[in-house]
Amino acid sequence: MAKILRYIGPNGLESYGLMVNNLVIDRNDLERELNIKLPEDILSFISSTYLNMVLEEIKRISFKQTFKLEDLKLLAPIPNPPKILCLGLNYIDHAEEQQKTPPDEPMIFIKPRTSIAGPFDDIYVPSDYVQQLDYEGELAVIIGKLGKRISASKALDYVLGYTVFNDLSARDIQAKDKQWTRGKSLDQFAPIGPWIVTRDEVENPYNLKIITRVNDEIRQNSSTSKMVHKIDRVIEILSKGMTLEPGDIIATGTPSGVGVFMKPKPKFLKHGDIVEIMIEKIGTIRNRIVFT
């Protein structure tokens, strides 16, 4: 039905809005047309009772475009998520390239909200701290309402929509720590965007092409059909022990083709590399790597 965007407009002000039929409608115009007062920030908007009402109303109201997409600086759609929950070894082909067996239950780790970056931001990496930087293109799920002990049969009702996610990883730190948290948690190590595509626009999240390019070279070329633990099961298992909140991000894992497992030798990201991740029906993010 719609894409939810956060951006800096031509007026230099930060705002959010909806893109419907390729028309960008700013929050101020939504307020004026619907005669309501909307929350100032996007996280409050998606967790409010207004969201569903606005999505229903845009079906019947003929809105005029507020901004052209090309005139906006797109920002991370969720700047301060309550939680960023990530899955490891959740693609059959990614497990195979490591000669590992996929886990029986989702393998979960958490990234901090300070790792969030915008869809087209430069990613600044401390060269005295990281030498083996890698990419992981992923489909991310955005939770839309509060829930705990959610059954798999109702899990998708709690999904607001989907976005593109890059689980940037410092493989040298991972190897040193023998676990994943620090190596995946640096500032800007979770570029997301370019928007949230609402769930009703994605008929089948398990048949989407994922392509990651580095400097136009295809590195990952797979499909969400190779996901081991599907979204409904992941939500069911996570919510048994933790409350899921509006704005939570669940990054569903990456397919094969990451740099560390390239043959005959690893291909880690270098200064100036452009990483582009495209997910069918969702969108594309593109980030330049800057070692400082």
Check pLDDT > 80 for residue 61.
Answer: no
Average pLDDT of span 21-28: 90
Model pLDDT for residues 134-143, shown as the tens digit of each residue: 999 999 999 9
Residue ranges of the chain that CATH labels 3.90.850.10: 84-291
Mean pLDDT of the chain: 94
In terms of phi and psi (left: phi > 0; alpha: psi -120 to 50; beta: otherwise), the region of 163 is beta
What is the value of pTM for the model shown? 0.96
Residue 1 banded pLDDT, cuts 50, 70, 90: low
Q: In terms of Cα–Cα distance, which of 79, 67, 62, 52 is closest to 17?
A: 67
* Dihedral pair phi/psi, residue 153, rounded to 5°: -65, -25
The Cα 188–Cα 111 span in angstroms is: 11
The Cα 173–Cα 183 span in angstroms is: 5
Topology of the domain comprising 84-291: Fumarylacetoacetate hydrolase; domain 2 (3.90.850)
Check pLDDT > 70 for residue 240.
Answer: yes
The Cα 36–Cα 34 span in angstroms is: 6
Quote the pLDDT of residue 88: 93
Model pLDDT for residues 167-178, shown as the tens digit of each residue: 999 999 999 998
